[in-house]
Structure 1
Amino acid sequence: MELLPDGQRNTATEVSWEDQQKINKFSTLINKKDEQLEVLEKLKVEKEYLDDLSMEIELLDEDDRIQYKVGEVFIFMKVSKAIAKIEAENEKLETRISGIDEIIEECDESLGDLKKQLYAKFGNNINLER
């Protein structure tokens, strides 16, 4: 005797070890993607901050000295040197952002493949949507 709602019948498909591995991999990829999206968001905010800072500093005279934070201390530095450091930091951020974008794309491709395989076998008996 089954306790399913009226009009529904048991269409359960047996889950093999390989299927369970695919489901586990899907879950792992979702977590990895979520972590990378969080890091990406933080890096984008930092890049936006650097862009704003760069525009503000460029308005100053090149021979002026400003305080520039290195580690936990501030040092006085010429504006031109500070701009060069900010541009270098901006390039590093762009590289990290593009690397994380690639990781997210790879996760999306793998997730798409796993979704196709799992939905093909389990149909409506599995929910892979958030």
Structure 2
Amino acid sequence: MSATLSRRVVSLPLPDRPISPTASQRVTPLHTSLTLTPTLHISRTSRTSRTIPSLTLLPHLSQLSKDDESSSTDAEVTREDQDRINRFSSLHNRVRTLEEQLAAKKKDKEDLEEVGQELELVLDEDELVRYKVGGTFYSIPLAEAQEMLGTATEEADKEIEALDDKVGGVRDEMNGLKAELYARFGRGINLEA
């Protein structure tokens, strides 16, 4: 005698509650976002009863007001638009890197100025001063140390100025791209960081 099991599947919606999406679901096109709607699947067999939870992925419009929705454009993203967005992203990363380098150079310059103030406190001009070049300390006369320090400070000023110019140029290009992209997509794109 053989027994057969009959199986019936019933889908019931669970009460609405927010579920945070995974990292892969956070990447969304322009003004649409994906929200998860939980669904409960109940399987029944003649001998056992099991509950299998699952999640159904449904696209929904983002939480924009009616005015925002009407002002946003449903423009299709072309290859050129995507290239501009990618270029803006790479420029944004470049600016952050340059700003970190700029902050480090400014810190180095402050350190050099502090060393210069310490050297002014040395009373005996014939005294040898330990001056670090690379990873090695050298004992040199005070006048030579002050001269080397002045040269290092001038070089730091030039590097800071060059980095400032680079940051300004990259920011100008970013502002141009931002204007183009906002003109094309309106509030459907967010380029603020």
Instruction: Give TM-score, length-normalised by structure 1.
Output: 0.92
Instruction: Report the residue type matching 2:113 in the other structure.
Output: D
What do the CA deviations read for 1:83-115 (whole angstroms, capped 9, x no partner)? Answer: 100111111111110000000000111011111
Paired residue for 1:35?
Answer: 97
Please identify which structure carries the higher helix content: 1
1:99 aligns with 2:162: yes
% same residue: 35
Paired residue for 2:142?
Answer: 79
Paired residue for 2:12?
Answer: none
Secondary structure, counterpart of 2:178 in structure 1? helix
Instruction: Give TM-score, length-normalised by structure 2.
Output: 0.63
**Bigger radius of gyration:** 2
Distance 2:119 2:167 in 1: 34
Distance 1:51 1:11 in 2: 54
Instruction: Report the residue type matching 1:49 in the other structure.
Output: D
Distance 1:31 1:24 in 2: 11
Paired residue for 2:60?
Answer: 3
Secondary structure, counterpart of 2:182 in structure 1? helix
Instruction: Report the residue type matching 1:126 in the other structure.
Output: I
Q: What is the Cα-based RMSD across aligned positions, in Å?
A: 1.7
Asked if the contact 2:73–2:186 (Cα under 8 Å) also holds between the matched residues in 1, the reply is: no
- Post-superposition shift, 1:62? 2.1
Distance 1:97 1:16 in 2: 39
Aligned pairs for 1:1-130 within 5 A: 3-4=60-61, 7=66, 8=69, 11-60=73-122, 61-130=124-193
Instruction: Report the residue type matching 2:162 in the other structure.
Output: G
Instruction: Decide whether aligned partners of structure 1 residues 76 and 13 sit closer, same or farther in structure 2, where only a CA change above 3 A counts.
Output: same
Instruction: Report the residue type matching 2:102 in the other structure.
Output: L
Please identify which structure carries the higher strand content: 2
**Which 5+ residue runs of structure 2 have no aligned equivalent?**
1-58
Distance 2:182 2:133 in 1: 52
**Which 5+ residue runs of structure 1 have no aligned equivalent?**
none
What do the CA deviations read for 1:13-62 (whole angstroms, capped 9, x no partner)? Answer: 10111111111110011000000000000110110010010011022132
Distance 2:182 2:136 in 1: 55
Greater RCO (CA < 8 Å, at least 6 residues apart): 1
